[in-house]
Structure 1
Amino acid sequence: MIRATRILRAHAIGWGEIVDRIVLDHGDRHRRRVAMRGVGGLPFLLDLIEPAVLEDGDALVLEDGRLVWVEAAPERLLEIRAPDPLALKRLIWHIGNRHIPAEIAEDAVFIAEDHVLAEMVRGLGGTAEPVERPFRPEGGAYAGGHEHGHGHHHGSHAHHAHD
């Protein structure tokens, strides 16, 4: 089975033949070594040196130089909004206090669909509407940044204990 041993980040793509694509949800985009099959049927082994986050628009580089395109699958999320920026910051603080993955946009926050958190948000004056879209949560303070094609990059996720 051919191996994919490197990730070509979205902002660096411009060379190589794209021969297939994989569509993965947020959880399945955190990988190091796993057998995969592209949408077009190409079997390959993802075999990275260390765990990595595969981002929408990245490509996996096969041993022969061909590429497999990475696409983020749509997921059921909550789109959280608030009446003003300060209220949104407060909601972000409450969501962050629960240590769940969150994608922070200019005027909204996206989290995995959760009826308990939806009620909390509504109780704090925000809105929480179900949507279906790719999920691109923040990497976290200990993850080494983020990679969405705008200059920073993901590392592996680490956790720390609270006293």
Structure 2
Amino acid sequence: MNERLPRATAVIPAGYWPQAQTAGCVTLTYAERCRRRIRLVDDGGQPFLLDLDKPVRLADGDGLQLMGNGFIRVVAAQQKLLEARAKNPQHLARLAWHVGNRHTAAQVTEGLTLRLIDDAVLRLMLQGLGAELSTIEAPFHPEGGAYAGSDAAHGHAHGSDAHTH
């Protein structure tokens, strides 16, 4: 990796970094937002190095603090997602249990609905469990899990307190 690239060495949660110091934006899928060290290219075509001490799960609106000055704003990309709508709260719990039993990231939304990355095997499983399925394009913000960190205000952890699988 080219060490001459601008380096982002810290993550500041959305709402806690100075927006006036925005040097660019980077749009990333959920999988791309779970990183520690990688060369990225911002939305304006400028390369930079994400160089964190530990892996983190970046969230929409987070600021990647550049050494020297400025921040790169993280934007959650639109992705093809599978929505599984349950019939009632008990059915939702059953669907969530089966998805979780497969160690699959899931987002719990309003109205008895789970969102997950569209996958043919999971689609068949959820159909078999009686879920009403649809495909959407939206940013993916899955639950962090019990060990994802303690930043309850933001639903995710950053820096040295983050833990990812």
Residues of 1 paired with 2:156 and 2:80: CA distance?
25
Q: Which segments of 5 or more consecutive residues in structure 1 lack a partner in the other structure?
A: 159-163
Compute the TM-score of the two structures, normalised by the length of structure 1. 0.86
Q: Compute the displacement of 1:144 (Å).
A: 2.4
CA distance in 2, matches of 1:9, 1:42: 22
Q: Find the residue that maps to 2:103 and give its secondary structure.
A: coil
The partner residue of 2:118 within 113, 119, 128 is: 113
**Superposition RMSD on alpha carbons, in Å?**
1.8
CA distance, structure 2, for counterparts of residue 112 and residue 24 of structure 1:
14
Cα gap change, 1:57 to 1:109, in 2 (>3 Å): same
Matches within 5 A, 1:90-101: 90-101=94-105
- Written as runs of structure 1 = structure 2, the 5 A alignment for 1:13-162 is 13-107=17-111, 108-145=113-150, 150-154=153-157, 155-158=162-165
User: What amino acid maps onto 1:153 in structure 2?
Assistant: H
1:53-85 deviation per Cα after TM superposition (whole angstroms, max 9, x unaligned): 111111111112211110011111101111212
Structure 1 residues 27 and 146, CA gap change in structure 2 (3 angstroms): farther
Q: Which residue of 2 aligns with 1:161?
A: none
Offset, 1:146: 6.4
Q: Secondary structure at the match of 1:11?
A: coil
CA contact (8 A) 2:13 2:154 kept: no
Q: Deviations over 1:3-36 (max 9, x none)?
A: 1111111031345411211011111111111111
Q: In structure 2, what is the Cα distance between the partners aligned to 1:19 and 1:89?
A: 43
Q: 1:117 aligns to what SS in structure 2? A: helix
Deviation for aligned residue 1:152: 3.9
**Contact 1:140-1:157 at 8 Å conserved across structures:** no
